[in-house]
Amino acid sequence: MSLFLGAKDDMAKYICKIRDAGVELASHVSDARLHSAELRNILAGIDVRKILLTGPCSIHNVEVARTVIDSIAVLQQECQDSFKFIVRLFGEKPRSSNFDKQGNINFRGFIAHPDFDVDTRQNVVTTEKGIDDMRDLMVYALNKNSVHCLIGHDFGSILAAHTSLIRADIFHSVILMSAPFEGTSKIDIQKDIKQTNIHEDLRLLSNPRKHYQWYYSEKRANDDMIYCKQGLKSFLRAYYHVKSADWLKNKPHNLKEWSASELSKLPGYYIMDYDLNMAEQVNIDMPSKDEVRSCLWLTDDELDYYSNTFSKTSFQGGLNYYRCMTDDKVRNKLRLYSNMTISVPSLFIAGKSDWGIYQKPGALENMKNKATSNFLGAHFIDGAGHWVQQEKPEEVLKLFYQFISS
């Protein structure tokens, strides 16, 4: 069994790409625990059954999830001549139909929701909590003793890295995407003090700047984007554009050190202009109508779906995770695992135009040489930026298949 941590729509696009490409791409889908031969035959038209993608979808409780999954297993036996059931679980999916009296989302996702204070928008979501949830989900909800491969993109990469490092007995290999894992938190107080001063150094630049992760940790970040002047759909279009290979100014390279002068070389969506919010920042580089029309990996209809969904759910569930990186109290809890490395086979995949690879100076090299002990390579895909699994899904799937089947 393989498990993917990332946006739910990413996996939906994978399934669509596989369906459209037919037999050739279907051959790159491999998951022995989910009977990949059956899936390939159905996708190729050899098996006349239908694939039925079903819930429990947005879970809130592992016991309830297990009950639903057990019921689906019974249905699979009863309908095995007509359908092949695939159960989908969204560990981070908010519920758009569950609001409190103030209009706030009551449920922000299985991993993101616990201990979140709606009034203060403060939370104690931690990476350790995410690891526990992943373990509970696999062992208790899905009744699996192990996962062949854990795959994570962006912050999902960081969670997947910690999970495979700490629970190598359950998660037997890992693929990290876009965000390199530089290693566990170190017992080095002085280093942390130096890093907290970076904000003042950025502010004092001739062109004052600020770090996006700390901005995303602020209370106002969600509302800045959801209720932005240009409208949510325009904001999302610009945000997806500037972080993709379509934005020709993305020419990522190594940075020498963690200093204001070096970080200022990062584009505005990472090191923002000091007086701008994120919606204002990316609107500077809003793509032209021709660029929008030529964007085949994110059509206007798909963007309509994104904007309609986010208008109901907000971004807050995802934004909670940034506090895991910016809150010293949360980060320091992971010092328990200081100097541990990922011992299971690991792979890194990113778009060649993704600045995320280099936003933390030295992270890529540390992942290769220090944070892992069984690293099998890094792949940088041409024509892709941060959204590598959406911009180049076929290439990503082929790398998945090669790694998982090796």
Model pLDDT for residues 170-186, shown as the tens digit of each residue: 889 999 999 999 998 77
State the residue range of the domain holding 202. Answer: 2-48+91-405
pLDDT given for residue 131 in this prediction: 67
- The answer to whether residue 77 sits within a structural domain is no
Which residue stretches of 167-283 are H helix?
189-196, 198-203, 212-216, 221-226, 232-242, 260-263, 278-283
pLDDT given for residue 159 in this prediction: 84
Whether residue 139 has pLDDT greater than 70: no
Residue 324 backbone dihedrals phi, psi, to 5 degrees: -65, -30
Nearest to 348 by CA among 184, 182, 180, 183: 180
56: preceding bond cis by omega (within 30 degrees): yes
pLDDT given for residue 170 in this prediction: 87
- The answer to whether residue 80 sits within a structural domain is no
Contact 49, 82 (CB under 8 A): yes
pLDDT given for residue 188 in this prediction: 57
- The answer to whether residue 306 sits within a structural domain is yes
> Which residues contact residue 260 at a Cβ distance below 8 angstroms, ignoring those fewer than 6 apart?
198, 201, 202, 204, 205, 209
Distance CA 323, CA 12 (A): 28
pLDDT given for residue 156 in this prediction: 86
Average pLDDT over residues 247-264: 96
Distance CA 362, CA 46 (A): 49
- The answer to whether residue 62 sits within a structural domain is no
Nearest to 132 by CA among 285, 288, 333: 333
pLDDT given for residue 42 in this prediction: 86
Q: What percent of the chain has pLDDT over 90?
A: 48
Whether residue 141 has pLDDT greater than 80: no
Considering only 132-136, 168-172, 304-308, which range has the smallest mean pLDDT? 132-136
Average pLDDT over residues 190-217: 83
Q: Which amino acid is at 262?
A: E
Quote the Cα angle for 13-19-22, to 5°: 135
pLDDT given for residue 129 in this prediction: 66
User: Where do we find the tokens 């003793």?
Assistant: 145
- The answer to whether residue 69 sits within a structural domain is no
Considering only 90-104, 172-186, 342-356, which range has the smallest mean pLDDT? 90-104
Whether residue 59 has pLDDT greater than 90: no
pLDDT range class, residue 27, cuts 50, 70, 90 = very low
pLDDT range class, residue 52, cuts 50, 70, 90 = confident
Distance CA 3, CA 61 (A): 18
- The answer to whether residue 58 sits within a structural domain is no
Q: What percent of the chain has pLDDT over 70?
A: 74
pLDDT given for residue 32 in this prediction: 41
End-to-end CA distance of the chain: 14
pLDDT given for residue 18 in this prediction: 37
Q: Which amino acid is at 145?
A: N
Q: What CATH number is associated with residue 323?
A: 3.40.50.1820
Q: Which strands form 2-5's sheet, in the order they lie side by side?
A: 2-5, 149-153, 174-177, 346-351, 375-381
Whether residue 122 has pLDDT greater than 50: no
Whether residue 362 has pLDDT greater than 80: yes
Higher pLDDT, 156 or 366: 366
- H or E element in which residue 175 lies: strand 174-177
User: What is the domain count for the chain?
Assistant: 1
Burial 87-114 (b: 16+ CB within 10 A, else e): bebbbbbbbbeeeeeeeebebbbbbbbb
Distance CA 300, CA 302 (A): 5
- The answer to whether residue 64 sits within a structural domain is no
Distance CA 54, CA 282 (A): 36
Average pLDDT over residues 237-260: 97
Which tokens belong to 32?
Answer: 């022995």
Quote the Cα angle for 268-306-323, to 5°: 50
Quote the Cα angle for 188-192-193, to 5°: 115
Q: Is the pTM of this model over 0.85?
A: no
pLDDT range class, residue 68, cuts 50, 70, 90 = confident
pLDDT given for residue 259 in this prediction: 95
Residue 349 backbone dihedrals phi, psi, to 5 degrees: -130, 135
Q: Are strands 209-211 and 271-273 parallel, antiparallel or unpaired?
A: antiparallel
Condensed to tens digits (0 to 9), the pLDDT of residues 256-291 reads 999 999 999 999 999 999 999 999 999 999 999 999
Distance CA 88, CA 8 (A): 9
Count Cα neighbours of 206 within 13 Å in the Cβ-side half-sphere: 1
- The answer to whether residue 377 sits within a structural domain is yes
